[in-house]
Amino acid sequence: MRSGSLSIWFFIGVSLLVNGALICGAGVYEWIYPPLDRVVLFNLHAPVWWGGVLFILGLIYCFYFSPTRERGGVAGAKNEWKSEG
Amino acid sequence: MIPALLLLHAPTLVHLSAVDMVIIVLYFVLVLTIGFYLKGQAKTGEDFFMAGREMTAWIAGLSFLSANLGSLELMGWAGSAYQYGILAAHWYWIGAIPAMLFLALVMMPFYYISKTHSVPGYLKLRFGEPSRALSSISFAFMTVLMSGINMYSMALVLKVILGWNINFSILVSSITVAAYVALGGLRSAIFNEVLQFILIWAGALLIPILGLIEAGGFSGLKARIAVNASAEYTHLWSTLGHFSENPMGINWVGIVFGLGAVISMGYWTTDFLVVQRVLAAKDIRAAKMAPIIGAGFKMLVPFIVVLPGLLALAVLPFKLVGQDVAGSAGHSYNEVLPLMLARYCGPGLLGLGITALIAGFMSGMAGNVSAFTTVWTYDIYRALIKKNEDDRHYVRMGRWSTLAGVIISIVTAYFVMQFASIMDYVQAVFSFFMAPLFGTVILGMLWRRATPAGGFWGLLSGTLTSIGMWSWVKADPTALRYVALSPHAKAMAQDMFQALWSCSVCVIVTVLVSLVTKPKPDAELIGVVYGLTKIPQEEQVSLFRRPVFWAVVVGLAFVVVNIIFW
């Protein structure tokens, strides 16, 4: 990808962010309204913390590889992950 | 290998909620968005077929691994881990890591310096047109067939797990793959593979974490497996002294030489499906680092594939059975991953897990299609049909051949639906070419005396040896004792020893024919043969950025994991 264009890591950040929010939200809902048919280890509330981890990772990626930040050259110079044109 | 066929009558394994569906739809939207976004960056042949040769080591490395990380592989090897225990991890460790490091340090410089577009293209430079024609036509043909099998298998698995209509699954997945590969070329395929790689880990990693908590850690896992199956299931090497001492019916010779030295070397260093990703690297250091990064992550894949299979042995309250006896009454080995997914994952997590499976299928399919497109356009169409056209003509042909590749895949998928047994034959045929191709390429790179005639006849005789042995055992199953040199050998041993024999025949024939035929002059071998090629010096970088340093680190980690699970 050429300088100034979106990095693949930004797309990945968006994906993790939205998926994380959806999973965490579904986990919180299940915590408040527990279903009758529960998965094994339901008491650990995995969707809440796993969704939270994905959300935070997505947030970091979206921020670090955001188009405005890249255009400003802040991340671009250090961007080992992104292909150069 | 795609034994889900007999599961057609099984009840649906999981039920998706609205949030799961949103996650799956979001994945398709994102994949297509990336394809459309990259359309404008695929104007020249270099852009479309080689992603502009501007990928960083990380992107090329993750894509290199992701193209191999198909869902059939994930589900199949999780099932094998349930069936054979930790021996399945050999296909990720000795069956991958040494070959990936060898590709990085020894072979990649030659592929990269020769500026070839493909592995058949390298054979043309080294051995001439007949070897390229043999290799490219067989590869192109088999690749679209494999893509069709992938497509059908995905549709079948989605039907079994979710109850989705097979036609709907084939249509949606094929249109999506055709769209993003035809629009953005290899760059789009590679970027989507990186996204798919991340999603596979995000969707599958929770299973071993929760499984280990339930089993009481690794020691609890071993104790439960010792009770439910046998203590042998958790040993990697100590049971390989003899064919009869392990559940796989194989010995260490088959694993070390058949799998480690021939099959994995053949696959990871000459299968253009994976090598194409590394050829897109931006410079020689990135091209060498990419397989090393891939090797580092490959070593971790058993955590999301083999471990769930072992955990299923420990925690599932019922026994899984082979495909031949699985039906409406029970679950088969190959359902391990979906069963474990359904065991621990509720709404949301289930959607992400299913997305991981779909992503795995699509990365495998796109890998096949993009490799087919390049080999068809450069090594068949341009070499044999229409030479000397301008660059735009070949890019147009690339786009059309992407669509043609997908259409042939769809036809194959429906053909397989009618004649299911053809799948086993196609997969067997694909393996026929791999082991001898490695013998030909490695001799060509390292031995300047190898001649074009030697290369061609070696490749042909090795392939015929494979076909002959496979047919022999097919016609008379007791012949396996001669192929694998033991009356206790089982089916898995056949593949290993068959590859070992065919590679040996290829090397012997290549050497003998080369010694009695005229070699190419040295001037024509510069850039393609070791000893005649000046390997360019890498830029002066710190120790931590040198490929050799990281290869040593990955190599040491490889030794350590093998000792830990000995």
Task: Return the sign of the alpha-carbon dihedral for residues B544, B549, B551, B553.
Answer: negative
Residue B340 has φ and ψ, to the nearest 5°, of: -70, -35
Whole-complex ipTM:
0.84
pLDDT classification of B424: cutoffs 50, 70, 90: low
Taking any CB pair shorter than 8 Å as contact, residues of chain A touching chain B are: 1-2, 5-6, 8, 11-12, 14-16, 18-19, 22-27, 30, 35, 38-42, 44, 46-47, 50-51, 54, 80-85
Distance between CA B231 and CA B5 in Å, rounded? 31
Report which residue type is found at B266.
Answer: G
Least confident of A22-26, B257-261, B321-325, B502-506: B321-325
Distance between CA B566 and CA B545 in Å, rounded? 32
Predicted pLDDT of residue B495: 83
> Which three-class secondary structure state does DSSP give residue B493?
helix
Number of A:B CB contacts under 8 A? 108
Question: Does residue A80 surpass a pLDDT of 60?
Answer: no
Average pLDDT estimate for B515-522:
90
Other CB atoms within 10 A of residue B324 CB: 9
Outline where DSSP puts E strands in B275-324.
none
* Chain B contact set for A17 (CB, 8 A): none
Distance between CA B386 and CA B365 in Å, rounded? 27
Give B96's contacts (C-beta < 8 A, 6+ positions apart): B264, B268, B295, B298
Helix/strand/coil percent split, chain A, to 5: 65, 0, 35
CA A57 to chain CA centroid, Å, is 5
C-beta of residue B306 within 8 angstroms of C-beta of residue B86: yes
Cβ-defined contacts of A78-81 (< 8 Å, 24+)? A79/A7, A80/B56, A80/B58, A81/A7, A81/A8, A81/A9, A81/B56, A81/B58, A81/B59
Q: Which residue of B59, B198, B346 is in closest CB contact with A47?
A: B346
Average pLDDT estimate for B35-58:
85
Other CB atoms within 10 A of residue B392 CB: 11
**B246: which DSSP letter?**
S
pLDDT classification of B422: cutoffs 50, 70, 90: low
Report which residue type is found at B439.
Answer: G
In angstroms, the separation between the Cα of residue B366 and the nearest Cα of chain A is 17
Break chain A into its structural domains and give their ranges.
10-69
**CA-based angle B23:B25:B27, to the nearest 5?**
70
pLDDT digits (tens, 9 = 90+) for B112-121: 777 777 788 8
Nearest residue to B294 (alpha-carbon basis) of B559, B118, B68: B68
Question: Does residue A76 surpass a pLDDT of 60?
Answer: no
Q: Which residue of A14, A23, A81 is in closest CB contact with B349?
A: A23
- Give me the domains of chain B, ranges plus CATH numbers: 3-564 (1.20.1730.10)
Distance between CA B442 and CA B466 in Å, rounded? 18
**B381: which DSSP letter?**
I
Highest mean pLDDT of the ranges B214-218, B355-359, B387-391: B214-218
Residue of B137 and A22 predicted with greater confidence = A22
Question: Does residue B329 surpass a pLDDT of 80?
Answer: no
Distance between CA B355 and CA A51 in Å, rounded? 15
Beta carbons of B198 and A54 less than 8 Å apart? no
Interface test with A, best of B59, B188, B190, B343 (most A CBs within 10 A): B59
Average pLDDT estimate for B383-388:
87
As a whole-number percent, the residues of chain A with pLDDT over 90 amount to 55
